[in-house]
Chain A
Amino acid sequence: MLELLLASAELVGPLESIFGDFAEVGPMVAIGIPLVGAFVIGLLGRWPNIREAATVVTALLLLHTVVAMIPDALLYGTPSGGDTIIFKEVVPGLPLAFHIEPLGLIYALIAASLWILNSFYSMGYMRAHHERNQTRFYVCFALALSSVMGIAFSANAFTLFIFYEALTLSTFPLVSHAGTAHARRSARTYLGVLVSTSVGFLMVGIISTWLLTGNLDFTQGGVFREFLASEEISPAVVGTLFALYIYGIGKAALMPMHRWLPAAMVAPTPVSALLHAVAVVKAGVFSVLKVTVYLFGIDSLREVAAAIIGGDWVVYMACFTILAASGIAMYQDNLKRRLAYSTVSQLSYIILGAALLTPMGIQGGALHMAMHAFGKITLFFCAGAIYVAHHKTEISDMRGLGRKMPLTMLAFLLGTLSIIGLPPMGGAWSKWYLLLGSLDAQHKFVFAVLIISSLMNIAYLLPISIRAFFSEPPPAHDEHDEHDEHDEHDAHHDDHHGSFWLERFGLQEAPALCVVPLCLTALACIYLFVNPDPFLELAQAIRFN
């Protein structure tokens, strides 16, 4: 896959000639493309087709830019050797600075590649639904991606924080898109939890780090090593700071800071799919990984964990979140909510990977960012497709749906298997590495939790597709009641939004623009098992000290 991507980059590759030495400006180009794209999309609001074309072109350019940076990331940064690119000094000593490294590139690559598919899916979904304010929707999407790139390539905690907040702001209009009282209330929860955690804990943590060490740069081995060695800063202080970061990064949804994620499900499904299964939540766990590896350093954190009682509390908190969120997910009848709780649980796998403080755990976490992204976006795409074609949101109504939507439900099954972590799905790899990491860290308890969690995943995800294929569909009149109950604003332009392209086979699938992307992501899950590169290669390129 890597070769393929690189070849495509060579093929289209005139960016190099425009921007000169690419690695010097790559991150800035990656941030700039969606930003310019957002502007163009905004201008083209009157012509929906051209507007969507602009989105797709922007997404393609972005992917191209990100892919072109893979070799640099494997070599750590620019050819001149891991230099950071300083964009602008905001206050003396604290610049907006970017660098290219493997962990960030994994994240950027996930977001950029899935954005393309998601753009097509959005077209299908938003048009089938006659949603309002579509221009705002696409503009904010592009802005969110720009923030994502800023997070992915940030070279210091200050820059990370700035783009982290920008991501919260740019996604707010997407969450409150429907404009109903319910949507606004949920969006307030979203904003409230994310901003109060980041301002209350993360910002205080960053300022404290800055005042204690005078250094916020992400460096190999972290900034605390010498201070710990010389006992200038006590392990307890470092441990407290780490807690401020872990809970300050509310996007990682470690319990009890997870409430915003189910609230965000009020957004249109493409938003839930790309942002709340991929971009935003991965921004959280990516930040956790990045801070763990490059700001604190796993060696320093291991010292801290050994020095203070309960120093490895994050491991237990993550385990708790994994199990508790899975437990809650079992009782959710609303499909999107069940998926949201599943995401909360899965995110803690990645936090767990970071908290194990072993290279294997970190690699597993990094890999899981990618694998979970492809699996979960498939599930959300399917949820959206079911809603578009049949207006169903509750799992109990989806019995027998596999007969009408075999492609969608098959993709759902594949996504489910990947989330569970069964071969031949990409998810198997990350779970494998996480299990190895837990053994590496001598945490038999964690090993057990991971296994139990897999069983719970099976229990709450697999029945959905099984019932869809093997149960009898509910009587028709029920369907109508549900419909009226759940989407009042859709009631008047009733029935069938799906195209009729599969109807000759007696199927009622969603429009092609919805179905094709979800099939592609499902296939990608399989492909990532056969060939987990470039994600595996990038994850293995992370250096820890």
Chain B
Amino acid sequence: MIAENLPVLVVILPLFGGLIASMLPGRDAPWVWASVITAAVFGMALQLVAAVHAAPNGIIDYNLGAWPAEYGIGYRVDHLNSYVILIVALVAFLTTIYARHSVADEIPDDRHRFFWAVWLLALVGLLGITITGDTFNIYVLLEISSLTVYTLIAMGKSRDRRALTASLKYLILGSIGATFILLGIGYLLMLTGTLNMADMHDQLVRMAEAGELADNRTLFVAFAFLVVGLSMKMALFPLHMWLPDAYTYAPSPVSAFVAATATKVGVYMAFRFIFTIFGGVYASEASLMLIGLCAGAGIIISSLRAITVVNVKRVLAYSSVGQLGYIVLGFSLGTREGVTASVIHVFNHAIIKGGMFMALGCVALRLGGTNLRHMRGLGKRMPWTMGAFTVGGMGLIGFPLTSGFISKWYLLQAAWQEGMWWAVIVVVLGGLLALIYIWRVIEAAWFTDPDPELQSLSVAREAPLSMLIPTWIMAAAVIWFGLDGEFTVSTAEKAAAILLGGAG
């Protein structure tokens, strides 16, 4: 019973869990409840991955209410999205455990239950987008996840009131992006008469074979709207303006959760639209080249920006824009190797950046700030926290034996094979810029004496275990998947085969 309905349970459970969380009293009860729900979701995500591996063709179809997929909502799980679901569920579970002290510190007591309710609803949105095979459903869930994330970011206001403007900025830009996506979906519906992705693709192929798509303006407009809307959602340079503020002023656990998952889900949508739906019917090379260039510019410019800012959370936010550039650069090559590299980095960047934001959350909890001067001499006071941060930083730079190295290795290979020398140079340069902006922090933490004016540092002690353990699970994962890339690489290769095979 549970096994058959896994695809929908993964979404339904946090949905109802979230509603119930809003009614739980006190501080700890909602947190315990959210932990239980996310743990269950994570367990189910694992089972889902196993089920996909066991399924004969690696695909599980699930029709909600047993309506045929053409009319109802069809969920389709394959190697690609079971993997993304696993990432989202894992990060959600770890950040939930982690969030207890942070939330107690940063959110007013009477809002806890709402925080956890919205938190779980955000999870619903992210998981739903990933699992569904229906484009309109994607839009609905996208709005759920966006609205909840705006709320979560705004909850950072009790620590820093700039969270409110950050949230508003994201709200406006995010809504524009979502509208673009909706328009794109609308045009596709107009063209094909269906909302189901697989069906949409089949219809487009049929029309292309019948010669109806030559110079088809509707198709072009749909593609353009979707690409721009998705770029906004995944914060592709230069449409990334919302991201640095949002990540900087959000409550610490929210930064970790959103940085590790939200843009990744955006990338996932881009995969689905560009490859699953338009793959083989729309000549997307020129557009892909264009977003590849945007990504390249994003890597360089945002990394340069990251070098100049002093708030480390903001450094990581800019770095996220850059790292997203790597992901986009990979799939913009349009080759199997490129998409593989891209999918690998989706996972690797999620664990790296998640872990680093978590480490920063520990610092924020103990010192009340994450500026560079807070970091000075912190290696002595909070060695485990800064150790995890350092491991993550090595991953961002792409040092060998961290998972970031595997990503970079594959990305360089992909660019090399396409003869894209500028991309090779951009990737190498991006790594060196990352070295600079990460090393500023590492040097401050380990090789500098504490700022004498900073009183809180002298009393700072190591973060509580409930924060350290999840942080270190992420850090350990960075090393583990750097030592053994087998899982990520083989999954990414399968995912790339699904996307470029043209199958929906």
Question: Residues of A with Cβ closer than 8 Å to B?
Answer: 88-92, 161-162, 165-166, 169, 173, 176, 179, 184, 187-188, 191-192, 195-196, 199-200, 203-204, 207-208, 210-211
Assembly CA distance A162 to B394 (angstroms) = 13
User: Smallest Cβ distance from A8 to chain B, in angstroms?
Assistant: 34
Contact B443 A203 (CB under 8 A): no
User: Smallest Cβ distance from A87 to chain B, in angstroms?
Assistant: 9
B432 in complex: contacting residue of A162, A179, A199, CB < 8 Å: A199
List the A residue with the shortest CB-CB distance to B401: A162
B 386-414 to A, binary, CB cutoff 8 A, 1 in contact else 0: 00000000100011110000100110110
Other A-B pairs, 14, CB within 8 Å; known A176-B447, A207-B413: A89-B484, A90-B482, A90-B484, A90-B485, A92-B485, A92-B489, A165-B399, A184-B447, A187-B447, A188-B443, A196-B432, A200-B428, A211-B416, A211-B417
User: Smallest Cβ distance from B171 to chain A, in angstroms?
Assistant: 40
A166 in complex: contacting residue of B401, B428, B432, B483, CB < 8 Å: B401
B 435-470 to A, binary, CB cutoff 8 A, 1 in contact else 0: 100010001001111000000000000000000000
Assembly CA distance A162 to B416 (angstroms) = 20
Contact B400 A173 (CB under 8 A): no
Contact B409 A91 (CB under 8 A): yes
List the A residue with the shortest CB-CB distance to B379: A136
Assembly CA distance A204 to B417 (angstroms) = 12
Task: Check: B110 CB closer than 8 A to any chain A CB.
Answer: no
A90 in complex: contacting residue of B443, B449, B483, CB < 8 Å: B483
List the B residue with the shortest CB-CB distance to A91: B485
Assembly CA distance A192 to B412 (angstroms) = 21
Q: Can you give 29 A-B contacts (C-beta < 8 A)? A: A90-B482, A91-B410, A91-B489, A92-B485, A162-B401, A165-B399, A166-B401, A169-B394, A173-B446, A173-B447, A176-B443, A179-B447, A179-B448, A179-B449, A184-B443, A184-B448, A187-B447, A191-B435, A199-B398, A199-B431, A200-B432, A204-B412, A204-B428, A207-B409, A207-B413, A210-B413, A211-B413, A211-B416, A211-B417
Assembly CA distance A191 to B440 (angstroms) = 12
Contact B449 A207 (CB under 8 A): no
Total interface residues in chain B, CB < 8 Å: 30
Assembly CA distance A211 to B416 (angstroms) = 8
Assembly CA distance A204 to B416 (angstroms) = 9
Contact B424 A195 (CB under 8 A): no
Assembly CA distance A173 to B412 (angstroms) = 29
Contacts A90-B484, A91-B409 given; does A169 touch B399 at CB 8 Å: yes
Contact B447 A90 (CB under 8 A): no
Task: Tell me which residues across on chain A come within 8 A of B483, comparing CB atoms.
Answer: 88, 90
Assembly CA distance A89 to B401 (angstroms) = 12
Contact B432 A195 (CB under 8 A): yes
Assembly CA distance A373 to B230 (angstroms) = 58
Contacts A90-B406, A207-B409 given; does A162 touch B400 at CB 8 Å: yes
Task: Tell me which residues across on chain A come within 8 A of B428, comparing CB atoms.
Answer: 199-200, 203-204
Contact B412 A207 (CB under 8 A): yes
Contact B432 A92 (CB under 8 A): no
List the A residue with the shortest CB-CB distance to B424: A204
User: Smallest Cβ distance from B410 to chain A, in angstroms?
Assistant: 8
Task: Tell me which residues across on chain A come within 8 A of B432, comparing CB atoms.
Answer: 195-196, 199-200
Task: Check: B216 CB closer than 8 A to any chain A CB.
Answer: no
Task: Tell me which residues across on chain B come within 8 A of A92, comparing CB atoms.
Answer: 485-486, 489-490
Assembly CA distance A169 to B428 (angstroms) = 18
Assembly CA distance A162 to B402 (angstroms) = 10
Task: Tell me which residues across on chain A come within 8 A of B486, comparing CB atoms.
Answer: 89, 91-92
List the B residue with the shortest CB-CB distance to A179: B447
Contact A191 B446 (CB under 8 A): no
Task: Tell me which residues across on chain B come within 8 A of A203, comparing CB atoms.
Answer: 412, 428
List the B residue with the shortest CB-CB distance to A94: B409
Task: Tell me which residues across on chain A come within 8 A of B490, comparing CB atoms.
Answer: 92
Task: Tell me which residues across on chain A come within 8 A of B394, comparing CB atoms.
Answer: 169
Task: Tell me which residues across on chain A come within 8 A of B489, comparing CB atoms.
Answer: 91-92
User: Smallest Cβ distance from A163 to chain B, in angstroms?
Assistant: 8
Assembly CA distance A422 to B5 (angstroms) = 83
Instruction: List residues 105-132 of chain B with CB under 8 A from any CB of chain A.
Output: none
List the A residue with the shortest CB-CB distance to B447: A176
Assembly CA distance A10 to B341 (angstroms) = 50
Assembly CA distance A199 to B413 (angstroms) = 14
User: Smallest Cβ distance from A194 to chain B, in angstroms?
Assistant: 11
Contacts A90-B484, A90-B485, A184-B443 given; does A208 touch B416 at CB 8 Å: yes
User: Smallest Cβ distance from B382 to chain A, in angstroms?
Assistant: 16
Task: Tell me which residues across on chain B come within 8 A of A207, comparing CB atoms.
Answer: 409, 412-413, 416
Assembly CA distance A179 to B443 (angstroms) = 10
Most buried by B among A165, A192, A210: A165
Instruction: List residues 51-108 of chain B with CB under 8 A from any CB of chain A.
Output: none
List the B residue with the shortest CB-CB distance to A200: B428
List the A residue with the shortest CB-CB distance to B417: A211
User: Smallest Cβ distance from A463 to chain B, in angstroms?
Assistant: 37
Task: Tell me which residues across on chain A come within 8 A of B410, comparing CB atoms.
Answer: 91
Closest 4 pairs (CB-CB, A-B): A162-B400, A91-B485, A165-B400, A176-B447
List the A residue with the shortest CB-CB distance to B482: A90
Task: Tell me which residues across on chain B come within 8 A of A161, comparing CB atoms.
Answer: 400
Assembly CA distance A88 to B431 (angstroms) = 25
Task: Tell me which residues across on chain B come within 8 A of A89, comparing CB atoms.
Answer: 484, 486
List the A residue with the shortest CB-CB distance to B489: A91
Task: Tell me which residues across on chain A come within 8 A of B409, comparing CB atoms.
Answer: 91, 207
Task: Tell me which residues across on chain A come within 8 A of B448, comparing CB atoms.
Answer: 179, 184
